[in-house]
Chains A and B, each alone.
Chain A
Amino acid sequence: MSAFVNHFSFEFRTGIRNKTLLLMNYLFPLGFYAMMGLVMAEINPDFVETMIPAMVVFAILAATMLGLPDPLVTAREAGIFRSYKINGVPAFSILVIPALTTILHMVVVAIIITSTAPLLFDAPWPVNWPGFVVTFLAMAFACAGLGVLIGVISPSSRMTVLWSQLIFLPSMMLGGMMLPYSLLPETVRKIAQLLPTTQAMNAFRGLAQGLTADFDPVGSLIVLLASGVVAFGLAIYLFNWDRRNSTQRGHPLLALLALLPYAVGVLLLS
Chain B
Amino acid sequence: MKDPVIEVRDFRKTYGDFVAVDGISFEVQRGEIFGLLGPNGAGKTSTLESLEGLRAPDGGLLQVMGVNPARQSRKLRNVIGVQLQSSGLPDSIRVDEAMKFFSAYHGVAPRYDLLDRLGLAEKRSAQYHQLSTGLQRRLALALAVAHDPPVLFLDEPTAGLDVASRVEMHNLMRELQAAGTTIILATHDMAEAEEMSDRVAILLRGKIAASGTPLELTATGAGLTKVSVRTKGSSLSAPGVTFPAVSQQGFKDEYAIYFSTDIGPTVSAIIAHVEAQEDTLIDLRVERPSLEDRFLEITRTEGTNTGGAQ
Contact = CB atoms under 8 A, between A and B. Distances in A.
Give 4 nearest A-B pairs by CB, closest first: A83-B88, A3-B104, A79-B86, A88-B77
B92 A18 contact: yes
Contacts of B73: 85
Interface in B64-109: 73-74, 77, 80, 82, 84, 86-93, 97, 100-102, 104-107
A10 to B, nearest CB: 6
B53 interface: yes
A75 B53 contact: no
A10 B74 contact: no
A216 interface: no
Contacts of A80: 87-90
Contacts of A83: 82, 84, 87-89
B32 interface: no
Interface string B98-129: 00111011110000000000000000000100
A78 interface: yes
B101 A86 contact: no
B288 interface: no
Contact of B90 (A14, A86, A88): A14
A244 to B, nearest CB: 10
22 contacts: A3-B105, A6-B100, A6-B101, A7-B105, A14-B93, A17-B92, A17-B127, A18-B92, A78-B87, A79-B86, A80-B88, A82-B54, A82-B88, A83-B88, A85-B54, A86-B54, A86-B80, A86-B84, A87-B77, A87-B102, A88-B77, A247-B56
A2 interface: yes
A4 to B, nearest CB: 9
Contact of B88 (A6, A7, A79): A79
B7 interface: no
Given A14-B90, A82-B54, A88 B80 contact: no
Contacts of A7: 101, 104-105
Contact size class for B? 20 to 34
B52 interface: yes
Interface in A72-96: 75, 78-80, 82-89
Contact of B54 (A2, A78, A245): A245
Interface string B25-49: 0000000000000000000000001
A267 to B, nearest CB: 43
- What does DSSP make chain A's interface, helix, strand, loop or mixed? helix
B55 interface: yes
Contact of B77 (A14, A75, A82, A86): A86
B97 A88 contact: no
Contacts of A18: 91-92
Nearest to A21: B92
Nearest to A241: B54
A247 B56 CA distance: 10
Contacts of A88: 74, 77, 105-106
Interface string B144-177: 0000000000000000000000000000000000
Nearest to B146: A87
Given A78-B86, A82-B84, A87 B54 contact: no
A138 to B, nearest CB: 30
B92 A87 contact: no
Contacts of A10: 93, 97, 101
